[in-house]
Amino acid sequence: MIETLLSFSLATVALALSPGPDNIYVVTQSLVNGTKSGIATTAGLISGCIVHTALLAFGVSALITASESLFYTVKIFGALYLLYLAFTVYRSDASVTFSNDAPKKSNWALFKQGVFMNLVNPKVMIFFLAFFPAFLWDTAKNTVTQFFVLGLLFMLISFLIFSSLAVLAGTIKRFMTKQKSAGKVLKWLQVVVFVGISIYILIP
Per residue in 118-143, pLDDT (tens digit) is 786 667 777 888 888 888 888 778 88
CB 8 within 8 A of CB 17: no
| Mean local confidence (pLDDT), 4-21 | 85
Q: Which has more pLDDT, 22 or 45?
A: 45
* ∠ CA 191-134-194, rounded to 5°: 5
Per residue in 154-200, pLDDT (tens digit) is 999 999 999 998 888 766 666 666 666 766 776 776 677 678 767 87
User: Could you tell me which of 132, 171, 138 has the C-alpha nearest to residue 155?
Assistant: 132
| Mean local confidence (pLDDT), 48-56 | 88
pLDDT of the residue at 149: 93
Average pLDDT, the chain: 79
* ∠ CA 35-112-25, rounded to 5°: 45
pLDDT of the residue at 160: 95
In this predicted structure, the answer to whether residue 36 has a pLDDT above a threshold of 80 is yes
pLDDT of the residue at 22: 77
> Which letter does DSSP use for residue 150 in this model?
H
d(CA 201, CA 80): 10
Q: Which has more pLDDT, 10 or 193?
A: 10
pLDDT of the residue at 173: 62
Q: 1-5, 21-25, 39-43, 182-186: which range is least confident on average?
A: 182-186
d(CA 94, CA 89): 9
